[in-house]
Amino acid sequence: MAQERKYFGTDGIRGEVGSYPITPDFMLKLGWAAGRVLAEGGRGKVLIGKDTRISGYMFESALEAGLSAAGLDIYLLGPMPTPAIAYLTQTLHARAGVVISASHNPFADNGVKFFSAEGMKLADEVELAIEAEMDKPMQSVRSEALGKAQRVDDAPGRYIEFCKSTIPHGMDLRGMKLVVDCAHGATYHVAPNVFSELGAEVSSIGVDPDGLNINEACGATQPQALQKAVLDSGADLGIALDGDGDRLIMVDHAGEIVDGDEVLYVIAESRRAENALSNAVVGTLMTNLGLEEALRAKGTELLRAQVGDRYVLELMRQGRCNLGGETSGHILCLDRISTGDGIVAALQVLAAIRSSGKTLHALKQGMSKYPQVLVNVRLAKQMDVLALPAVQAAVREVEDTLAENGRVLLRLSGTEPLVRVMVEGRERGQVESLAQKIADTVQDAVAEVA
């Protein structure tokens, strides 16, 4: 059985700024503890990057001090997308990369996660070793062994050049009119340049971070502003990134949202045309059944992981798959980069448009999305609702009704007393009715055992 972690979750350590453990004293100790573990192979360097939250300054300084106290040199990247930090950790031959970000969360949250020297999530044993060091008293190395800090002034340029290299040599975006929404986040000074340097005509929104407006009414989680901008400007398409740049949602020229499932489909079809698609694509339990059917029709299997890009990546590595992602827009192109990357994923879609000669609106038509309804049922306390006979019977009945034309999924929330009821099928009215039927059964069954 895996050892339970005290601090690290599935995506690092995250929470509200000022509430333990998202405090400066904890981050100081975390930097020292991580430095102690990472310095076991001798003196080395660690990169620190962040998004645009105002608290990033505070936590950057605290982590820098802790790492220095452990005897490691620090390379400060400033505001940079999460995938850029993964990439630069590899190319600068660092021991690790540290990301200060809460991704798509509001500015009052923040967090920290680490990349290994290979640009991957830290191994479980390394995270556990860091947690073990956190329980020890903090002691600085001798003055002559303290780590030094320096800024990497050319970090944005290095990453921009890498992104441009992920589409075929000689391909450009001349003649394309794009709107790019950077969510007032870490891509604000990077993403517009990537697309414009490839020849596209770029209009940018969400590129004025003030420390407080990250993800506010913009970006991949709220693409309504992008939809309006695309329609108002007559652009070919829109690209919405989230606060740390690892999530992508697109908007086609008709103003229709193109979610992660549809992005996956477009990239998969492009890879297939190039004979560069592995034998399976990885999605999650929430991935739309329409994507599974569209892929199956072309001879490609969809493998489903638990919800979370960490689980998608694990299944991709197990199955040696080069393409995977989530409906929310985390897209992993492992034949291009080691982690989810919104800019790189967008470039793969643009390359598909360029090579096919079709619009994004036309390319997504090969996949028909099933209506998917999600109903949350709040519980008085955490309990295993899925084991109740009445609930199991209701699920079986709905599954029999849908047969091969739909899916049912019940998930217990890991953070609050909720049951998430998801029903997917061909007819929205039927799906809504069946989802509510299961939700009502859950409420009645819980009342009986309360």
Shared-domain flag, residues 40 and 22: yes
Q: Which of 55, 68, 103, 328 is catalytic?
A: 103
Residues 6+ away with beta carbon under 8 Å from 326: 260, 283, 284, 286, 287, 307, 308, 309, 312
- The whole-number average pLDDT for the span 54-83 is 98
Shared-domain flag, residues 32 and 125: yes
pLDDT of residue 415: 67
CATH code: domain of residue 387 = 3.30.310.50
Shared-domain flag, residues 279 and 422: no
Token pair 């967090």: residue: 111
Summarised one tens digit per residue, pLDDT across range 272-316 is: 999 999 889 999 999 999 999 999 999 999 999 998 888 999 999
pLDDT of residue 328: 95
Residue 216 lies in a domain: yes
Residue 210 lies in a domain: yes
Q: How many domains would you assign to the chain?
A: 3
The residue out of 366, 382, 406 marking a domain boundary is 366
CATH code: domain of residue 335 = 3.40.120.10
The residue out of 366, 389, 418 marking a domain boundary is 366
Hey, which residues does 323 pair with through a beta bridge? 333
Summarised one tens digit per residue, pLDDT across range 77-127 is: 999 999 999 999 999 999 999 999 999 999 999 999 999 999 999 999 999
pLDDT of residue 1: 43
Q: Is the pLDDT of residue 248 over 70?
A: yes
Shared-domain flag, residues 355 and 406: no
DSSP of 70-98: TT-EEEEEEE--HHHHHHHHHHTT-SEEE
Q: Which pair of structure tokens corresponds to residue 53?
A: 């939250």
Residue 3 lies in a domain: no
Shared-domain flag, residues 53 and 189: no
Q: Is the pLDDT of residue 184 over 60?
A: yes
- Asked if 349 contacts 413 with a C-beta cutoff of 8 angstroms, the reply is no
Q: How confident is the model at residue 4 (pLDDT cuts 50, 70, 90)?
A: confident
Q: How confident is the model at residue 2 (pLDDT cuts 50, 70, 90)?
A: low
Range of 439's domain?
372-449
Shared-domain flag, residues 409 and 388: yes
Told to judge if 103 belongs to the known catalytic residues of this protein, a careful annotator would answer: yes
Residue 7 lies in a domain: no
The residue out of 126, 153, 180 marking a domain boundary is 153
Shared-domain flag, residues 338 and 384: no
Shared-domain flag, residues 137 and 56: yes
Residue 224 lies in a domain: yes
Shared-domain flag, residues 77 and 223: no
Shared-domain flag, residues 387 and 356: no
Q: Strand, coil or helix: what is 56?
A: helix
Q: Is the pLDDT of residue 264 over 80?
A: yes
DSSP of 215-232: TTT-STT-THHHHHHHHH
Residue 33 lies in a domain: yes
Shared-domain flag, residues 25 and 171: no
Q: Is the pTM of this model over 0.85?
A: yes
Shared-domain flag, residues 202 and 334: yes
Residue 1 lies in a domain: no
